[in-house]
Structure 1
Amino acid sequence: MIFNSKLGTPYLESPHLFARFARRRLPMSDLQPLSDGTELRQTAWEYRVLIVDDDPLFAKYLKSLLGSDFLLEKISNRVLRVEHAGSMKEALSKIKTHYDIVLLDINIPLEEGLPPQRAHGLAVLREIKKASSETEVIMISGYGPEVDTVVQAINEGAFYYLDKPFRNELLAALLTRVIEKKESERKAWLDGFTGLYNKAFFEFSLKNEVAKFPKNDAPARRRLSPVSLILLDFDHLKEYNDQYGHLEGDFVIKAIAAVIKQTTRGSDIVARNGGDEFAVLLVGADHVQALRRAERIRKAVYKYGMEYARVKDLPMTVSVGVASYPSFLESAEALYKAADDALYASKRSGRNTVHGYAESGELKSFQELLGSDSGEV
């Protein structure tokens, strides 16, 4: 299939109907068996994709292509979460959260209804790269290749420059290269035992997110989305290891990792900090939202242990601490210490609880802070 922007309609190289390329829902993969034979699903790597184009027909076609059997086969069924922005203003609003890949038309309007301009596309490219150097941008143009513009886009950090109309095979090859590059990078950041991110990546991400907040500029800090941190610790690893052996303890750690991953958002950074400690970094979540997410994780771990764990005489629970930035904190180190202090408050209070902070900065339990709140978010 090729999309001809001059005709304004997609046409097919093969007799398959355009409807065949409608987006389909993918099942989660990578099942992790537990010691009792139960299988617990772990989410496959997802890639967030943003299409920036003011032509709704082309954007619809591109979204359908990104969910088609043709493309999914080329990229080995990786999960693509696709969103769309139709103007420079909408794109700048969306890129406040992280995208792995952006398909960016170089000629876009400032806002809906205004004429498109090349400068707007380049401005969005610069802002994307400023927000995250890890986001790969494929520029798209329907006005023919102009060497100066292509060179400028590449110099500004674009991964590639596509001219409409383009063959689907070319886009598939580009996405495959981008994904292979990202997965090669990701492997260095992964904990080989659980499949979560490792401590090095967590620490890098924590410092990177906090560094986005300008110092000594309170109004600018308030305009940025908050960053929250959840720290979790398995309550009974030593008992599991002593009574049932390290193999059983290992299975439980993997199970907890999978439950945490399933109970968080795709945009959250979920890491194993080592041993039986886990961390969840939530960008754009305030303290109340993070507390609710932490309580939801705590309940999910407990429920899984009650229903599926082979060992019934030892509870499968986690103690949890929550802290948020900027609030009263001034650095990534202070954020981590605050969450760690909250975690140990949960340990001291009897385990299997969540602790966070009141507006005064005082440590309190989830029940003291949010009462009968269910923890659903």
Structure 2
Amino acid sequence: MTLQALLNRSPLRRLSVVLQHVRSMSSAASQDDVILEKVKNTAVITMNRPKALNTLNLSMVRKIYPKLKEWESDGSTSLVIIKATGDKAFCAGGDIKAITDAARAGEPHGHNFFKEEYILNHAIGTLRIPYVALINGITMGGGVGLSVHGHFRVATQRTLFAMPETAVGLFPDVGGSYFLSRLGGNLGIYLALTGVRLKGRDVQRAGVATHFVETEQLGDLEKSLINLENANENKVLDVLDSYHNKCTLDADKEFSLKPHLEKIDRLFGGNTLEEIFENLEKDGSEWALKQLEILKRMSPTSMKVTLRQLREGAKMSFNDCFTMEFRICSGCLAGHDFYEGVRAVLVDKDNSPKWNPATINEVTSEIVDAHFKPLDSANELIIN
């Protein structure tokens, strides 16, 4: 069975496939897990772990961040392009198995990974020179953080976007509280709670990507960008628009979620998770009941935390969203469901997590509040 066929299964099964693939190919970070080079006045970041779906590890974060800051300030770099080796994945996420193993052993790796990853995500979102992400292939979790905050994101027919964290006892981090909460209507809440996938042009139509180009044109697009003289945001936009406008693949296809947008806005507009569940049940349509069944498989704690995260993130600054997310992350690392989710989809592979608390009614406001409490000053995320 192909990877694509497996990805067509249920959310937990899809996540299990991706994580099993990553685990089977994970190894010690090599010197070339990410390639950083300068071509003319363009800096090019190439994630180079194709057999591991280009999953992000701490080694890669620690290589990318200082170079990004160097390029931003050196006066000779006018553009940054980030891409990946291979056609299967731009970046399928972070190496969460290594994170949970370290956290269980009392090692700081997990906290360090998230802290330094968020600082990198913030640097991308505040970069003073144009940043173009070529998100060809699977783009989930950590891969979203490496792309979505940049000036431009180019999807292809191979792009598969999802934020499936509630299926593994986590939450849509890497700045998800900022960008998901700013998608149209309640689309971001829907994507965050269900972990639903968006493919190809849908990624651009949802507002996650800014442009759509066929995979086969990415090489020419990259050359056109590199050949720009004195590149600036407007010049880069002109090139991207040109390629986007010439692309006819699936141009006449309707946004796959368009028939459901009214229901998404109405049914996922509840102030509480209980209200959303009730809305879906009362609606009773085939689509609504299918979403309800998806939600019932997710971590109740993760879903309640996620709903509050996005509600608050909609009113927060970019900086404050990351501060909040690191507090939530610390709560997840101190809790139960993240480890249980990884066990179920990655270790034992039974895809039957035993969440604790087991139902949304058992997740008290005190449990949710604990994920948002300020940390000790020495442990807070500080972004300069």
Length-normalised TM-score, structure 2: 0.24
If asked which structure has higher relative contact order (CA below 8 Å, sep 6+), I would say: 2
User: Which of the pair has more CA radius of gyration?
Assistant: 1
Q: Which of the pair is proportionally richer in strand?
A: 1
Length-normalised TM-score, structure 1: 0.24
